[in-house]
Chain A
Amino acid sequence: MTPMIDVVFLLLIYFMVATDFVVTEEIYRLDLPQRLGSGAPDDPFELERDPVRIGVHTTGPEPEDYALDLTGPWPQPTTFEELLAFLQRNLIRDEGSGLFPRDHPILVAPDPDTGWEHAVEAFSTAVRAGYVNVQFVPTS
């Protein structure tokens, strides 16, 4: 009987160790536009709002190898921290300071060659800054 118990305990320990219960995965909610590429507003009397378009480019194999650009008359960020600071500074809070309301459209525009890591980081930066209308735009 003893050998069987030994083997059974070994199996038990193996499966306990091999099963990782700690889920470190979390999610971002992304509601894709119903039609990719068309941004027709629901309210026809709504003023047209120029979206903030964040270009993300991967320039090398390392996580730190990336470049950013903003379309428009904005200061160009070089890091995700600068982008975060720019977006936070221009978010309209209670006192009427800032340029963009919380639901201002933010478009994340990766290159075809941009790594998923950097695309998600740009998306994450906009969400962290407090914006709720963040979308990926299709590469043309």
Chain B
Amino acid sequence: MTANLTPMIDMTFLLIVFFVLVSQITDRQRVRMDLPRPRDPATMRQRDEQRTVINVVPAEDGAVAAIRVGGDDFPADPDGFASLRQELERQYRENPAVRMNLRADRRIRYRSIEPVMRSVTEAAQAAGVLPRVNLVVERKD
């Protein structure tokens, strides 16, 4: 005489599938990196709004390995920035209210961040909308 285990196994499998999916979704949008941690930041929580995450993926000594938007990697060279601009422009045309979340490692040099911001500005200009950007930082608690 043993207990009927079928409902428990059903539930457990459901939970596993849930966690597998959730961890994949978070990984795709959030590349692991060291975000800047300003002291006592006057930040706000991300509101529930349309956003596109632009990950500036770090390489060694402050250089940029790639710029990842969604699942696509754009190399940090003039061709890469041109296609990044096209991609962002497409997103702006699709949804003019979209906000660009800029995630960059804290060791990256400003010279590598600036072309990304420039791409956002130019893409917004081409699509005829205001470039709205969020700087993503980490809260140290």
Q: Which of B9, B12, B37, B137 has the most A CB atoms < 10 Å from its CB?
A: B137
- A interface, size bucket: 35 or more
**Which residues of the partner chain B approach A12 to less than 8 Å between Cβ atoms?**
12, 15-16, 19
How far is the CB of A19 from the nearest CB of chain B, in Å? 5
Quick one: CB contact mask for A1-45 with B, threshold 8 Å, 1 for yes?
100110011011001101110011111111111111000000000
Chain A residues positioned under 8 Å from B132 (CB to CB): 29, 31-32
A24 touching B36 in the complex, CB below 8 Å, given contacts A34-B131, A138-B118: no
B84 contacts partner chain A, Cβ-Cβ < 8 Å: no
In the complex, what residue of chain B is closest to A61 when comparing beta carbons? B107
Interface size on B, residues (CB 8 A): 56
Q: Please tell me if B133 contacts chain A, counting CB pairs below 8 Å.
A: yes
Q: In the complex, what residues of B have CB within 8 A of residue A23's CB? A: 46
Q: A48-85, CB under 8 A of B: which get 1 and which 0? A: 00000000000000000000000000000000100000
- The answer to whether A121 touches B135 (Cβ under 8 A) is no
Interface mask (A109-140 → B, CB under 8 Å = 1, otherwise 0): 01111111101110111011000000010110
The reply on B62 being an interface residue by CB < 8 A is: yes
Does A117 lie within 8 Å of B106, measured CB to CB?
Answer: yes
30 example contacts (A-B, Cβ-Cβ < 8 A) are as follows: A5-B8, A5-B9, A15-B16, A20-B26, A24-B141, A25-B30, A25-B35, A25-B103, A25-B137, A25-B139, A27-B45, A27-B46, A27-B134, A27-B137, A28-B41, A28-B43, A28-B44, A29-B134, A32-B124, A33-B121, A35-B121, A80-B39, A112-B111, A113-B111, A115-B108, A121-B39, A127-B42, A128-B40, A136-B117, A138-B118
